[in-house]
Structure 1
């Protein structure tokens, strides 16, 4: 991961934080769900191994704690609009984990993942950020 430019995307929350690392093409290289304390120790470890090109943070609930952590370490970040990210993340989740058995008979729009999908929301935030910077470059 060291030689390529990477985006760290964070979906903040009160109890769970979704985290994803994407390349500049939007490919997911890593995703996880962590507590705030897990995130801070993980970030310090991973940041020593690779430097992130950009950090994208969802602008929803819990962002203050994440923003405070990043500002304390003088890490620049961009807030990304989270509206509708749950629906997009749910679609990504089911694309990766198609329903099985009787659940495949139910329209996906009515299904909810069997586990938290904050990590997929971080992927959505990262991809939205990539769209933003691509639009800026084309202006």
Structure 2
């Protein structure tokens, strides 16, 4: 599981202490799955997705990445750590693009708005998109 070949899906994880972002992208970049899951459920979700899709598994190198990587590798998946520099800022912008502000919030610059929900899933999508862009460069 978790081979490094182009033309396989990419399973990206944004690890965190309490919650993790998970995204599965097709080789062409189409988002197949995008979720925020409790950290305690991460291994089960990754195991199920890896068994079904045989993806390349990548993980952001930030908060708790070493522990999360170890748990996922115990499932038999190899995990590539990738740089997650400024992905949270990009994820907030992606959230507002997908969910445009309404009412008075549309008058506030997006950079000043705080999404009402966690954006860890958007971070995972951005990690996967960056990884695919490097693979196709």
TM-score scaled by length of structure 2: 0.88
Q: Quote the residue 1:28 is aligned against.
A: 31
Q: Quote the residue 1:113 is aligned against.
A: 115
Q: Distance in 2 between matches of 1:83 and 1:92?
A: 15
Unaligned runs of 5+ in 2: 1-6
Query: 2:22 is matched with which residue: 12, 15, 19?
Result: 19
Q: How far apart are residue 25 of structure 1 and its match?
A: 2.1
Q: Structure 1 stretch 109-118 or stretch 126-135: which is displaced more?
A: 126-135
Q: Quote the residue 2:128 is aligned against.
A: 126
Q: How far apart are residue 44 of structure 1 and its match?
A: 2.6
Q: Distance in 1 between matches of 2:9 and 2:78?
A: 14
Residue pairs, 1:33-48, within 5 angstroms? 33-48=36-51
Q: Quote the residue 2:4 is aligned against.
A: none
Q: Structure 1 stretch 38-47 or stretch 102-111: which is displaced more?
A: 38-47
